Structure 1
Amino acid sequence: MTDIHSRRPPRWFVAGDLNGFFGLVVDNLSILGFIALALVGIFGFPAEVVYTKMFPGTALGVLVGNLAYTAMARRLAVRSGRADVTAMPLGLDAPTSIGMALLVLGPGFLAFRQQGLDEQAAALATWQLGMASLVVMGALKLALSFCGDAITRAVPRAALLGSIGGAALTLLGFLPLVETLRSPVAGLVTLGLLLYVLVARGPLPVRLPGVLVALLVGTLLYYALGLAGLGMPGFALPQGVTLSFALPLPNTGFVAGLPATVPYLPLLLPFGLLMVVGGINVAESARAAGDDYRTRDVLLVEAVATLVAGVCGGVAQTTPYIGQPAYKHMGARHGYTLLAGLFVGLGGVLGYLAGLVQWLPVAVLAPIIVYVGLDITVQAFHATERRHAPAVALAFLPSVAYLLAIKLGNPAWIAPAQHAALYAAGDGHGLSELAAIVTLGNGFIITAMVWGAALVAMIDGHTRRAAAVLLLGAVLTLFGFVHSVDPRGGIYVPWALEGLPRLIAWQFAAAYAALATLLALLSLQKRPAAEG
C-alpha cells in the first residue's frame, strides 16, 4: 500500500494553498507599494518609469524563483512519497528592497538631477543603476552560494543580524511609522490589527489571512473617512491606471548602470551577503519543519532569480522567506507558490500590479513595513547568544546616524550652503556634530558588522581576533567603504583626498588602528583560557 501511495503524483493544489497564496501575494504587494511610495512620493520619481519599467522585471524575478521552488517541492514530494511537502516561499526581500528605494534609487535619482539631467533622463539612468545593482548582488549571491557555510562561520551572527536589525529598526521601523501616523485613524488601526494577528496571535471572526484583513480594514477606513470629508487634508481618489503590456525582456541597460553602482557598493555588497546568510537559515528552518531542501539549491535559485530580474529591468532582489514552517501550518503545499508567482509575474507584465499598488493607501502599507522592521529587530536578539546581545545593540547605532544624516541632509529642511557650513564648523574640541553624524552614517551596515564582530570577539576572549577586525576597519575607512567622507558615501583612494575630508578619513582610520594596537598589547597578558 505504501509503495502504491509513493508512486501517486502529488496534488497540484490543496485547500491550504489559498491561504498561502494570499499571504505571499500580500507580502510582495506591500513591498512593491512601499518602493513606489518612496520613489514617487518622497523623491518625486516619475510614476510611469516605476510601473512600466521597474515593476515588470522585478515581478519576473518573483515568478522565476517561485516556479523553481514549486518544482523543487514537487520533486521532493515525489522522491519522498510524502503529500505534506511545502514549497519554499520566495518574494521580494523587505529590508533590502526598501533600502534600495531609500538609500540607492532615490538618492541616485537626485544625484542625476543635480548633474543636469532632466526628469525623464534621470529616471532612466536611475533605472539602469537599479538593474546594475541587482546584477552586482545577484553575482555575489551566485558566487557565495557555494561557500555560504564558510561565510557564516567567519562573520558572527550578532554582527550580521545586528547590522540589518539596526537598519530594520530605523529605516523600516521609524520612517514608515511616520508615514503611518500621517493618517492616524487608518494607520494606527491597521498597525494595531497587524500586531494583534501577527504578534499576539489573536483570533479573527473570519477565516482569512490576518494581513489581508488588516489591509482591507485600513483601506476601507481610509477611503470612508476621506469620502465623508473626515480624512486628512488633501485627500483624493487615485487616478485610474491604464493596463499596459510591458514584457520584461533582457536588455543591456545594466551595463550602462554599472559605473554608477561604485558609490553604493558599501550598501550593495552587505545586502547580497545578508541574503546568502538568510537563505542558509531559511533552508535550516524548512529542514527542521520536515522538508529537507538542499541548501545550495535554495541559494542558487534566489541568486538566479535576482540576476534574471536585474537583466530584465528589475530593481529589488528576491529571497526565500523565513516563514516556510508558517505556510506549512496553514496547510499550504506547493500550489501556493505557483499561484503567487504567476499572479505577481503576470501582474508586472499586464500592469494590474500598478493599479493595486496605487489604490493601497500609504498609511495602510506602511504599518506592514513597521511590523517587518520590528520582527527583524527582535530576531537579531533571539537568534544570537544572550551574551552577545551587547554586540547586537552596538551594531544598531550606526544606522541611527544614517537616519539623522538622511533627515538633516534634506535640502527642504536645511539649505545646502548652510549644511556645508555646519559640516565644516568645528568648535576647537573636535569635528562638528554634523560631520561626526554623517561620517558615522556612511557605510553604516559594514560599520555595524565591524563593530559587532569586534565586540563578539572581545566577549569570547579572542582579543587578537578583535584587533584584526579593527585593523580591517581601518583599511576600509581609508577607502571609504565605512565612514566615507564623500557626501554620497562613495569609495575612493585616500591619497586623492584633500583638506577637511582628508583629515577626517585619516583620523577615523587612526582611531581604529590605535584601538587595534591597544587590544593586541592587552592580548599579551596571561589569561585563564587560551586565546584563539
Structure 2
Amino acid sequence: MSNSAPVSRRWFVAGDLNGFFGLVVDNLSILGFIAMALVGIFGMPADVVYGRMFPGTALGVLVGNLIYTEMARRLAARTGRDDVTAMPLGLDAPTSIGMALLVLGPAFAGFRQAGMGEAAAANATWQLGMASLMVMGVLKFVLSFAGEAVTRLVPRGGLLGSIAGIALVLMGFLPLVEALRSPVVGFVTLGLLLYVLVAKGRLPVKLPGVFVAFVFGTALYYGLGALGLGAPGFQWPQATALTVAFPWPSLGFVEGLPYTVPYLPLLLPFGLLMVVGGINVSESARAAGDDYRTRDILLTEALSTLVAGLCGGVAQTTPYIGQPAYKHMGARSGYTLLTGLFIGIGGMLGLVSGLVQWLPLAVLAPIIVYVALDIATQAFHATPPKHTTAMVLGFLPSVAYMLSIKVGNPAWIAPEHFAQLMQAGDSHGLPEMAIIVTLGNGFIITAMIWISAVAAMIDGRLLRASGFLLAGAALALFGIIHSVHPHGGIYLPWTLEGLPRQIAWQFVGAYLALAALLAALSLQREPVPSPVP
C-alpha cells in the first residue's frame, strides 16, 4: 500500500487563465486569416465560410483538447504529480493558411472560371475542404504507427526546410503585403509583436503579449477609421446576429474526393508534416517532464482532424510545439478544457464567427508573419549546421510557386496573355514562365527531395542521394511534382503532347542524369578531398 498522500487534482489553477488566452488567440488568429483570405481575397460567400466551414473546424479543436485534457489528468493520477501540463491542441498555422491560400481559394476561383455559379462553386469548395481533411486525417492515422520510420528516412532539414520555405515566402511575404495595405496598423502591430515575443520586452500589463497586440492593433484600426485617418476602403463591419450551426456529420466529403486529386502534392505533405510535428512536440513535452505516449498524441491529432472533416471542417488540428511554454506559465489541464469549450461551443453558436468578423486583416496578418518567422527560425535551430545550405536550397521552389500564384491571377495578367507566356520560348531554352510554373507545382515534395538529396551528399552517402533523385524522377513522371499543367494536375505521361511533353521529359531526365552521376561517383574507392579554400 502506498504511503504517499493523494494529490489534489483541481480542474483549474491560476496559470490556466494565461494558457487559455494564449491558446485561444492562436486559434482565433488562424480562423480569422482563413476567413479574410476566403471572403476578403477570393470573394467566397461569408455564410458558407462562417456557417459551414467554421463549426466543423471548431469541433475538431474541441474534440482534440478534451482528449488531451483527459490524458493530462490521467498522467497526473498515474504519477501522483500535480504539475502535469496538458498538450495544447489547435489549428495548424502553416497548413491552415496553406489550405486557404493554396487550395480552397484557388479552387473556388477555378470553379467560377469553369462556369459554376457562386453558390455551387462555394459548395464544391466546401466539399473539397472536407475531403482534404479526410485525406490528411487518414494519412495521419496510418503514419501514427510508422511516423518514426519516416523521420529516420527523411532528414530533419528536409522535413523542416520544406515548411520553412512556405513560412518565409507564403506565410511571411504575402501576409506582410496584406498588413501593409493598412500601413500604420499593420506595421505597429508587427512591431509590438516583435517587441514582446522576440525582444522579450516588458509590458505595463501582465497579459500575454499576443493578446495585447491583438487588442491594441484592433483598437488602433477602428480608432483611426473613426477619425477618418484609416487606410482607404475602411468600413465598419456589419453587425450580424449570432446563428446556431451545429456541425452534423455529412457524407459531402465523398463528392469532394475527386476534387482533391490535383491538390494531393500539397495535402499529403501537409499531413506528413503534422505527424513529424506531433513526434517532435511529444519529445519536447517529455523533456519538460510530461511523458506522454507519442502514439496517443498522434492518434488524437488524427481523430480530431477526421471528426472535423466529417462534420464540415476545412483546417486540420495539431498539437502545438509550445507545451513547455504553457507549463512555465503555470498552466495545467484547465486551459485546454477552457479553449476547447470556447472554440468548439463558440463555433457552433456563431460567437467565434462574430469575433472573427471584427478582427481586421491588418491585425491578423502580422501575427501570421511572426509565426512564419518563428517557424523558419526553428528550422535553422533544429537542423544540423552542415545541412543548412541544403535547407535554403529547398526554399526556392516556394518562390516559384508564389510567382506562379501572382502571375496566374487574371487581375494581373489576362488568361490569354498568360497562356502565350507559357508557350513563349527563345534561343536560351524552354519558356521561362513555363519553368516557373513547373518548378512551383508540387513545391513541398520537391523541397523535401532536393534538401534530402543534398544533405545525403554532404554526409557522403551518394547512393542515398541518388535514391532520393530517382524518387523525384518517378514523381515528376506523373506530375506529382513539376506538373506541366498550369494548375498542378497529375497525369499519365503518355497523354502529354507538344511542349508540355517536352518539359516533363526534360525534368525527368534531369533527375535521372544527376542520380546516375552520383551513383557513378559513389564507386570511387577513396573519397576525393574537397579543395582547401
TM-score range, shorter chain: over 0.9
Shift of 1:4: 4.8
1:240 maps to 239
2:205 maps to 206
Q: Deviations over 1:65-110 (max 9, x none)?
A: 0000000000001111111000000000000000000111011111
- Report whether the alignment pairs 1:230 with 2:234: no
Runs of 4+ in 1 over 2 A off after TM superposition: 1-5
| Partner residue, 2:139 | 140
Looking at structure 1, the residues matched to 25 and 467 of structure 2 have their Cα atoms a distance apart, in angstroms, of 44
State the match for 1:307 in structure 2.
306
Could you tell me which residue of structure 1 aligns to residue 473 of structure 2? 474
CA shift, 1:528, in A, is 4.9
Shift of 1:8: 3.4
Q: Is the 8 A contact 1:180 1:188 kept in 2?
A: yes
Q: Which amino acid aligns with 2:170?
A: L
The C-alpha deviation readout for 1:112-131, integer Å capped at 9, x for no partner, is: 11221100010001000000
Q: Is the 8 A contact 2:7 2:81 kept in 1?
A: no
Q: Hey, what does 1:93 align to over in structure 2?
A: 92
* 2:167 alignment partner in structure 1: 168
1:470 and 1:177 map into 2 onto residues whose CA distance is: 35
1:409-450 per-position Cα deviation (integer Å, ceiling 9, x unaligned): 111110000001011000022112111110100000000000
3-state DSSP class of the match of 1:138?
helix
Q: What residue number does 2:193 align with? A: 194
- Structure 1 counterpart of 2:58: 59
1:76 maps to what in 2? 75
| AA in 2 matched with 1:276 | V
SS at match of 2:200: coil
The aligned residue for residue 117 of structure 2 is 118
**Where does the alignment leave 5 or more consecutive residues of structure 2 unmatched?**
529-533
Task: Tell me how far 1:233 sits from its aligned partner.
Answer: 1.4
Contact 1:241 1:354 in 2 (8 A): no
Contact kept, 8 Å, 1:219 with 1:360, in 2: the verdict is: yes
Corresponding residue for residue 177 of structure 2: 178
Aligned partners of 2:146, 2:517: CA distance in 1, in Å?
33
Give me the whole-angstrom Cα distance separating, in 2, the residues matched to 1:103 and 1:384.
26
The separation in 1 between residues aligned to 2:242 and 2:107, in whole angstroms, is 28
Where 2:395 maps in the other structure, the secondary structure is helix
* Alignment partner, residue 454 of structure 2: 455
Q: Distance in 2 between matches of 1:528 and 1:9?
A: 63
**Aligned residue identity for 1:446:** I
Q: TM-score, normalised by structure 2?
A: 0.98
SS at match of 1:524: coil
| Secondary structure in structure 1 of the residue aligned to 2:235 | coil
Q: SS of the counterpart of 2:413?
A: coil
The CA distance in 2 between the partners of 1:85 and 1:461, in whole Å, is 43
- Partner SS, residue 197 of structure 1: helix
**AA aligned opposite 1:158:** G
Identity, % of aligned positions:
74
Deviation at 1:483, TM superposition (A): 0.4
User: What is the distance in 2 between the residues matched to 1:223 and 1:269?
Assistant: 40
SS at match of 1:91: strand
Is 1:103 aligned to residue 89 of structure 2? no
CA distance in 2, matches of 1:254, 1:459: 44
- Unaligned regions of 5+ residues in structure 1, if any? none
TM-score (norm 1): 0.98
- For residue 42 of structure 2, what is the aligned residue in structure 1? 43
Query: Does residue 446 in structure 1 map to residue 448 in structure 2?
Result: no
What's the CA shift for 1:468? 1.1
For the residues of structure 2 that align with 1:78 and 1:258, how far apart are their CA atoms? 43
The answer to whether the Cα contact below 8 Å between 2:91 and 2:318 also exists between their aligned partners in 1 is: yes
| Corresponding letter in the other structure for 2:92 | D
2 CA distance for matches of 1:220 and 1:352?
A: 19
**Alpha-carbon distance change, 3 to 116 in structure 1, aligned in 2, over 3 angstroms:** farther
For the residue of structure 2 that corresponds to 1:232, the secondary structure is coil
Tell me if structure 1 keeps the 8 A contact 2:7–2:82: no
Q: CA deviation at 1:111?
A: 1.5
Q: Deviations over 1:326-381 (max 9, x none)?
A: 00000000000000000000111000111100111100000000000001111111
SS at match of 1:319: strand
Secondary structure at 2:394 match in 1: helix
Question: 2:411 — aligned with what?
Answer: 412
In 1, the alpha carbon distance for the partners of 2:16 and 2:183 equals 34
Q: Structure 2: how far apart are the matches of 1:323 and 1:124?
A: 36
Distance 2:184 2:111 in 1: 38
Say whether the 8 Å CA contact 2:48–2:123 is kept in structure 1.
yes
* Cα contact 2:186–2:366 (8 A) shared by 1: yes
Q: Which residue of 2 aligns with 1:270?
A: 269
Moved more, 110-119 or 503-512: 110-119
Q: Which residue in 2 is equivalent to 1:485?
A: 484
After superposition, give the CA deviation of every residue in 1:291-325 in whole Å (9 maximum; x if it has no partner). 00000000000000000000000000000000000
Give, in angstroms, the shift of residue 202 of structure 1. 1.1
Report SS of the residue matched to 1:375. helix
Q: How many residues align?
A: 528
> In the aligned structure 2, how far is the partner of 1:34 from the partner of 1:383?
28
